[in-house]
Amino acid sequence: MRKQPAIILRALLAALLAASLAGCATNRPPRRIQDAIHTVNRYMPGYVAEANKALEAVDHPDKERLTGIGERLQRAVDALDRWANGDDGRREEER
């Protein structure tokens, strides 16, 4: 008999966790956050290109690693921008 309340509690906890994660997946950030992400995404390619050009000009010893970091950061901000604006990438996969 003691196991039944524990099973019910675990099931309830699992249901609450699933519901909260489903809510996170369907909600978008507030408009001011969307605008901020979009602004960063608009200027990010220029910043990354300038940083990569500067790394190349001074022949920095870690230029390959730093160039890769900038490009990954640019892709991450682009993905955040798509998510914030309601396009989570499924549209591209469907094409």
Structural domain harbouring 79: 3-94
pLDDT for 23: 59
Mean pLDDT of all residues in 51-69: 85
Give yes or no for residue 83 having a pLDDT over 80.
Answer: yes
What pLDDT, on the 0 to 100 scale, is given for residue 93? Answer: 52
Q: What is the Cβ-side half-sphere exposure of residue 20, based on CA atoms within 13 angstroms?
A: 6
Average pLDDT score over residue span 67-87 = 86
Which pair of tokens denotes residue 1? 């008999």
pTM for this structure?
0.57
Q: CB of 66 within 8 A of CB of 55?
A: yes
- Number of domains, the chain: 1
In DSSP notation, 18-37 reads HHHHHHHHH----HHHHHHH
Distance in angstroms (rounded) separating the CA atoms of residues 77 and 43: 10
**Mean pLDDT of the 43-60 span:** 86
- For residue range 19-50, list pLDDT tens digits in order: 666 655 567 788 888 898 888 889 888 888 88
